Amino acid sequence: MALIFNNLNAIKSLNTNFLNKIKKIIKQILNDYEFKEGKIIINLVNDNELLQINKNFLNHDYYTDIIVFNEIKNNYLFAELYISYDRLIENANKYNQSIENETARLIIHGILHSCGEDDNDEKSKQSMTIKENYYLNFY
């Protein structure tokens, strides 16, 4: 699997050990959802950059922590995740989590969306959180 991080230096504490664990988690999710490993690109951006993506591509005029674009070809999953490091740090502080743990949660969240999971209502949000927690245990 090609796993590419862009602007990783935005979060200084992420290291090779973290990247290896994330890669393992992503592989597990793809295996569980019966997808083959395509290319996954994870972009760390600021709030304003993500707001512009949200406006331009989704016609939403509000801040968010993650936006995902994905494509499935011949059962290979290709995904591009855009994560706001401003929101990531805010959420880590708000929920008393480490930066690494919150980063892992957002990546897992994005990959689950790419695999077809939704969180549009309260029931699906709870289901998504349960799945996130399950995969965080691999971390």
* pLDDT for the residue 9: 62
The single-letter DSSP state of residue 62 is: S
Q: Is this structure's pTM higher than 0.85? A: yes
* pLDDT for the residue 10: 67
* pLDDT for the residue 45: 94
Which of 52-58's residues contact partners 24+ apart within 8 Å by CB, and which partners? 53/82
- The count of domains in the chain is 1
Q: Domain with 44 in it: what CATH number?
A: 3.40.390.30
* pLDDT for the residue 12: 67
Asked if residues 76 and 35 have their Cβ atoms less than 8 Å apart, the reply is yes
Give the C-alpha separation, 132 to 88, whole Å: 15
* pLDDT for the residue 8: 62
> Along the 139 residues of the chain, how does pLDDT read in single tens digits?
788 888 766 676 678 888 899 999 999 999 999 999 999 999 999 999 999 999 999 999 999 999 999 999 999 999 999 999 999 999 999 999 999 999 999 999 999 999 999 999 999 999 999 999 999 997 6
* pLDDT for the residue 2: 87
For 98, phi and psi rounded to 5 degrees? Answer: -75, 160
Q: Which domain holds residue 9?
A: 2-136
